[in-house]
Amino acid sequence: MTHPLKRSVPIVVGLFALMVLAIVLSPLVGSTHINLMRVFDRSIPFESNVDAQIFFIARLPRALAGALVGGTLAAAGVVFQGLLRNPLATPYTLGVSAGASLGAMIAITFGATLPFAGAAPASLAGAMLAVTVVYLLATARHSGLSTTVLLLAGVTLNSFFSALILFVQYLANFQDLFRAMRWLMGNLDVTSYAPLAGAMPFVAISFVAFVWLARPLNLLSLGADAAGARGINVRSVQRTAFFSASLATGAAVSVGGPIGFVGIIVPHLVRLMVGADHRLVLPASIFLGAGFLVVCDVLARTVLSPMELPVGIITAVIGGPFFLWMLLRKR
């Protein structure tokens, strides 16, 4: 008797290989042609190897950012879908991205007068604020974490924060407004390793939680009562899932802005490939999500070359029709 998991392990390994391939090859695409052999040619010192400098300093951070953001959003999508027991949930359903966007808008608009620079920490702070508010709303009247109330609180907060975003944008001058709009489209205009290093700790903490969550999320799919009857502490699983997935989403959005659809397309495709077991779906989604966003970013940089599109437009153009197909496929 082979373990059902074993059959799908080659697929997960294959997705990992595709991700590595995408990360290594995508920096080769760009206005200046570089040679992969020369990049890794150790006989040329790094200071005089222009190809290696372009590869490692100018382009690789962007590829890694795509991988980090894509993998994190896909994994967070899986966890939110498991928590809400709904394959149509996204990392942004519960208001994390609205909070992050509000934080970023405030930082961009009033940046000069605020103590910190850059939109990233502000968006992460906004995300955490939104998460806290949603959690307090969802637990205010129930001892447990009611997923229905969670969903309602998230949707309400989403529209309330959208109103605040419009208000902040109304106060902004033209130049800031332009930057704000660009941020909201979601793009991976990363030119150094610093934003990655900033987001990495939060992503790492979340991923540790995801490893622990994988099996309890399977049982949660049977329903909260049935999971509890099998010895699961449902409340602690739900709480861990909610906070870790929110933290991961907040960190990803702080790097790339609210890039849409990765968190729903990728988990869905992965389930078609490896089945429903979260112990496979989570790693497979991380790898496919990472590879997918890196490839989307290559498209964003090349389809209208020399103009660069925000990658969020590419994922939305692919994701919108895909989402409809999913809805129609489900009865």
Partner 1 sequence: MLQCHDVVISYGERRILQKVSLSVAARGLVGVLGPNGSGKTTLLKVLSGALTPETGTVTLGGQGLGTFAPSLLARRLAVVPQETHLAFDYSVLEIVLMGRYPHLGPFEFEGPADFASAHAALNATGTDHLAERAFNTLSGGEKQRVVIASALAQLGEGTPDATTAGRVLLLDEPTAALDLRYQLEVAALLGRLHDRQDMTIVLTTHDVQFAARVCSELVLLGDGHVIAQGPPQDVLTTEQIAALYGIRVDQAAMFAATVSAGVRP
The Cα–Cα gap between 81 and 93 comes to 10
User: Interaction with partner 1 in 117-176: which residues (CB under 8 A)?
Assistant: none
Would you say how long the chain is, in residues? 331
Between 231 and 306, name the residue whose CB sits nearer to partner 1: 231
CB of 232 to partner 1, least distance (A): 7
Exposed/middle/buried for residue 280 (C-beta within 10 Å: 0-12, 13-18, 19+): buried
Q: Which of 25-37 are b and which e, b meaning 16 or more Cβ less than 10 Å from the residue's Cβ?
A: ebbbbbeeebeee
The smaller minimum CB distance to partner 1, of residues 47 and 225, is found at: 225
Cα 213–chain centre separation: 18
List 46, 191, 230, 304, residue binding partner 1 (CB under 8 A): 230
Q: Residue from 49, 72, 81, 93 that binds partner 1 (CB under 8 A)?
A: 81
Q: Contacts with partner 1 in 271-310 (CB under 8 A)? A: 271, 275-277, 279
**Choice between 223 and 320, CB closer to partner 1:** 223
Write the binding mask 4 to 43 for partner 1: x where contact by CB under 8 A, - elsewhere.
Answer: xx--------------------------------------
Among 53, 146, 162, 221, binds partner 1 (CB under 8 A): 221
Select the span of 42-50, 217-225, 251-259, 284-292 touching partner 1 (CB under 8 A).
217-225
Alpha-carbon distance of 112 to 88, in angstroms, equals: 39
With beta carbons less than 8 A apart as the criterion, state whether 285 and 87 touch.
no
CA distance 78 to 266: 9
CA distances from residue 185 to 178, 198, 308, 309, 314 in whole angstroms, order as listed? 11, 21, 13, 10, 10
Binding positions for partner 1, rule: CB under 8 A: 1, 3-5, 81-82, 85-87, 211-212, 215, 218-219, 221-223, 225-226, 228-233, 271, 275-277, 279
